[in-house]
């Protein structure tokens, strides 16, 4: 399927983009090159290729949870400009 100038202009209008005439020409050519490349990739035999989500294995990058000393409610409220019932008191923003 070839992309036409009208397709580029339609997508640009949906995205509220103003494109110059030379940009439309350039994007039309680029999109058609991309679609041609995808058609070439479809010709590859991938029967014995295992599907992957990454090109290489990515292991768990999380650190271990460490037990740390908790702070008290008094410590948490010490710098609060206003508090009520062991919580931060803030101005009402919804009516």
Burial class (CB in 10 A: 0-12, 13-18, 19+), 19: middle
* DSSP letter string, 38-76: HHHHHTS--TTPPP-SSSS-----PPPP---PPPPHHHH
What are the two backbone dihedrals, phi and then psi, of residue 76, each rounded to the nearest 5 degrees?
Answer: -65, -35
CATH code for residues 5-42: 1.10.20
pLDDT at 7: 96
pTM (two decimals): 0.51
pLDDT for 34 equals 96
Residue 1 has pLDDT above 80, yes or no: no
């Amino acid at each position: 399927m070839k992309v036409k100038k009208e397709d580029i202009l339609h997508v640009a209008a949906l995205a509220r983009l103003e494109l110059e005439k030379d940009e439309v020409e350039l994007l039309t050519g680029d999109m058609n090159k991309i679609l041609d490349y995808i058609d070439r990739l479809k010709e590859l035999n991938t029967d014995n290729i295992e599907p992957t989500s990454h090109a290489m294995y990515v292991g768990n990058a999380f650190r271990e949870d460490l037990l740390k000393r908790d702070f008290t409610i008094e410590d948490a409220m010490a710098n609060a400009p206003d508090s009520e019932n062991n919580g931060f008191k803030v101005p009402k923003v919804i009516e």
